[in-house]
Amino acid sequence: MNRTLPKREAPVIARTSMSREEIALNEPKYPSLTQLPHAVPGAVQTSYQQNIPPYVHNIPNYGVSGYGAGDWQTPIRQAIEQLRYAIEQTPNGRTLSNEMKLRTLETLLGNKAEAARSIQSADKTVSEFFRHQVLGLATLLDDTIPDDRGRYVSAAYRFNEGLVELQNLCPLKLKKVLFVENFFDYGQYVPHPTNEYKAGESFLVYIELENPKVKKIPDGFDVNVAVSYEIRDENANVIIKHDADKAQLITVSRKRDYNLGVGPIKLPTTLPPGLYQLKISIIDLNGDALQCADEQIPFRVIPALAGG
């Protein structure tokens, strides 16, 4: 006996996939830089939001998620396209932050030439710093380099060169100022056991500098600073004042660390016991605008021993 299935108003169809057009319609819309209120007119925002980048439709196994299995490059390319649009087509889009983000994304895709392009919104020093950084990162991410040690050496070189560029934009700083018995080179000194001296004694001061302006000259590299100091008592009265002395260092190879010494500074024989402050001031003479850094360290004048 033949049996017929009951009629339904609409057929039931099992669906395992959707067309690309349906995906585009159902895909969630995420805000982008081009959709910010200040970026572009509303009509342009809407049009740009609804347009799917043309290369998306050529992706193999384009599924419900919009990307093929294991395809991490496509969303990065989409981000690059939107960020380029924001930079080139929107008001105030060409910012240093946007330019750096764009080059970072290019680095992730291995596009070294694009990643290393100069940044129009930055001065030469910042642009060179970031160029070295992305090239160093690209080297670490390059799986075609078989020797890990060689890769590390190349990346470290790039990072160091970039850091040298960036330091020229940082303010001058006195990293370490202390009394010493003697000093020889950066990090090589014999500290004074206490910050106590007798009237008439002399002392030496060791200083480590951070971020002095390094000037490229025909014969090498030049660091040029002026050092002055003064000693004040507990009432801020100036006991000793020494005007600036020029301290210049020219090297064939660029140094990474800089230090200098001040002294010997002789205390007056009539200086009464008590607390005092030594103020060291350093002016960087190589910058376009003179930078100054200073540091104060306390010390005590103690009575001389009877018969000493």
pLDDT digits (tens, 9 = 90+) for 54-73: 444 444 443 444 556 677 88
115 is a domain residue: yes
- Confidence band for 116, pLDDT divided at 50, 70 and 90: confident
**Residue ending a domain, choose from 167, 198, 217:** 167
Sheet with 188-191: list strands edge to edge: 188-191, 173-185, 202-210, 258-266
Q: What is the pLDDT of residue 66?
A: 55
Residue 180: per-residue pLDDT: 93
Q: Same domain for 64 and 181?
A: no
Residue ending a domain, among 143, 167, 191, is 167
Report the alpha-carbon distance of residue 46 to residue 10 in Å, rounded. 35
Better-scored residue on pLDDT, 147 or 138: 138
Q: What band does 8 get if pLDDT is binned at 50, 70 and 90?
A: very low
Which residue reads 């009432």 in tokens?
Answer: 235
* Cα gap 261→256, rounded to integer Å: 17
Instruction: Let me know whether 192 and 107 are in one domain.
Output: no
Q: What is the average pLDDT score of the chain?
A: 77
* Confidence (pLDDT) at 22: 47
**Total structural domains in the chain?**
2
For residue 138, the enclosing domain spans: 20-167
Pairing between strand 196-198 and 258-266?
A: unpaired
On whether residue 260 sits in a domain, the answer given is yes
* Judgement on whether residues 153 and 178 belong to the same structural domain of the protein: no
Mean pLDDT of 105-126: 84
Any idea what the CATH number is for the domain that residue 235 is in? 2.60.40.3880
What is the average per-residue pLDDT within 43-51?
37
68 vs 209, higher pLDDT: 209
pLDDT digits (tens, 9 = 90+) for 143-197: 887 777 888 888 888 888 888 878 878 888 898 999 999 998 888 999 999 999 9
- Helices 124-141 and 96-108 pack at an angle, to 10 degrees, of 20
Q: Does residue 239 fall inside a structural domain?
A: yes
Q: What string of DSSP letters covers 62-101?
A: --TTSS-TT--HHHHHHHHHHHHHHHHHSTT---HHHHHH
Task: Answer yes or no: is 188 within a domain.
Answer: yes
**Final residue of a domain: which of 167, 200, 228?**
167
pLDDT for the residue 263 = 85
In a domain, 308, yes or no: no
* Statement to judge: residues 132 and 202 lie in one domain: no
**Do 178 and 161 share a domain, yes or no?**
no
Neighbours of 109 (CB within 10 A): 16
Residue 100 lies in a domain: yes
Q: Encode 16-37: b = buried (16+ Cβ within 10 Å), e = exposed.
A: eeeeeeebeeeeeeeebbbbee
The phi and psi torsions of 128 (rounded to 5 degrees) equal -65, -40
Are residues 162 and 276 located together in one domain of the fold?
no
Q: Which residues of 271-287 are buried (b: 16+ CB within 10 A; e: fewer)?
A: beeeebebbbbbbbbbe
